[in-house]
Amino acid sequence: MTTSMRELREQAVEYLGWENRDPGRYNIDGIVRDAWVNGNGSDKTWKAAVEKHYRRFMVGDWVRIAVEVEDGFTEHHYGQIENFRKPDGNFYRRNVTHPYAAFVHPEYTRSHVVPLADLVEEINDFEIVTDFSRVHEGGPQHNYGVYHCMGGHGPYPPPATVMVIHKGSGQVRRFCDSCNTAEYRTGLADEVLMYQRNLKQTILELRADPALITGPTANALEVWDKSPADQYRDFADTFAWLVPAPAAELYKQWKEQQRAGAA
């Protein structure tokens, strides 16, 4: 008895489910054709077909793009894929498994057509921690050591269940399961972007003269008065990921010298 194309599609979807894959991200007809119609149905043929017909990106996916701006800065922007484009910038007239580029319109920059090879899935920029002891480590004592979700819950947020860490900066947000979404995660990344924009002048100054960070401290008796070097060091302590590498290395050496002198 000949198996119908419909049955083969259903079987392929079932197999993908067994492998904990999302069938929606695969060209099912392509898998059926290459694995079973034209192929011999072996495990090797199946795996090759599955890999070939995987859709890494789909319309609606949240992605990160890198945008070069003035003064040698690179900004990371996030948005959803709105459609796919050909190498000449035109639209595809049919669905394709491996399009060339995506049209993305982030919130804090103009729209861009970006080759898929240059896109990054937003989730790759974050570490997701679910261990309760880590999520609530150092939690507020007035709330029994438990952090609340920082999503959209109004005055009565539930306890957080995940801790989202932005890998590039180490900045943290805590959410409940329902708020651990791409939109909220990229909101954290956008906050990091605003730090970079607002502190641009300080970064440029340390680029031009890294030794500024090792300058003299203020008079110890003048508690509220800080020298320019003290201010640069405060900046480095708070926004370590924004400190240019030469200045960061000089600051590291300066701290070691201070510890040695105190000993």
Q: How does pLDDT run across 192-207, given as a tens digit for each residue?
A: 999 999 999 999 999 9
Section 227-248 average pLDDT: 96
Section 102-108 average pLDDT: 97
104: three-class secondary structure by DSSP: strand
Segment 212-217 long-range contacts (CB within 8 Å, at least 24 positions apart)? 212/247, 213/243, 213/247, 213/250, 213/251, 213/254, 214/250, 214/251, 214/253, 214/254
Residues of the chain with pLDDT > 70, as a percent, come to 97
Q: How confident is the model at residue 39 (pLDDT cuts 50, 70, 90)?
A: confident
pTM of the model: 0.87
Give the pLDDT score at 3: 75
Whether pLDDT at 64 is above 60: yes
Give the pLDDT score at 240: 97
Q: How confident is the model at residue 263 (pLDDT cuts 50, 70, 90)?
A: low
Q: Which residue has the higher pLDDT, 3 or 254?
A: 254
Give the pLDDT score at 100: 96
Give the pLDDT score at 152: 85
